[in-house]
Structure 1
């Protein structure tokens, strides 16, 4: 299990680096920010302490590994990627502050994380207001990438399946493959992810 968690983190990080490479190679705000110095600053807003620190630490480790490989290969357009981190303490109330620090103090041109939907939702207004891309590796709540009118948020991206998809697949597996007619659902009422899957499954 630990191997696959680490492997998925590394795969996500590699995909993100590829996206940064494409973004920094074109025109517009991304290129202007990249041309400002010899480094491309990417922020990581992560749950480094608190109840779900294991998620945040795994996310950060995978990204740092991919960055190390890219930098050793010459970086992006000849520029090295610099990773700066901010600990949201696994609390949505701290996530917005962490995002503000990454943007205003560290001058990040993109932000990775957080891992949880609640913390992503809390930082999103800060990054959108500053037109900074937000990449959520494992935030599964549908509303993370959608506005109230149903339109896609222009600066928010995700790299995982949403709750409705995951919950529906589990329900189909139980009904079609296991031939289950009744199911008991045990979920963590303090976890948005757990509650989201339970709602869809039923």
Structure 2
């Protein structure tokens, strides 16, 4: 194990590396322990179930392979999501692991993710008149439509590429924002401009 790296992070990095050659279900706790230089019991202590491990690996992959650049406006968010869809296409095995993890019941704390909080903050900054409940709803919708889970559904269900998925995403963003937020004519023109009819 590398100096200065904590054990859970080393386990997650090892699991992600193993995903390059094996499906998630074929990665054993014993193999992870051997790769990191700890016992199988230590791996179980940090990740008591396969769901915990899957959720941890997906979080690690999201932060290292598919980081979302900072955004302040809807346009910046849409550009970031488009780049993320291209990254998913470049590493589909990692993206499918993230999508699978999103479909299981969460094992961690129910606190909103950084991504959800960033979306809610963007909405509060750009649309202060919208109530918090609607901001949370819109943030949750935007988060889903920019996720690996949405990408995977479009990729497998409709055989769409990243650019086509991004087009669907942008039309969906325009619809979600138009339905909930009161946008000025200038803001709506900017959102509509990006979403083809």
Q: What TM-score does the superposition give when structure 2 sets the normalisation length?
A: 0.28
Q: What TM-score does the superposition give when structure 1 sets the normalisation length?
A: 0.28
Richer in helix (by share): 2
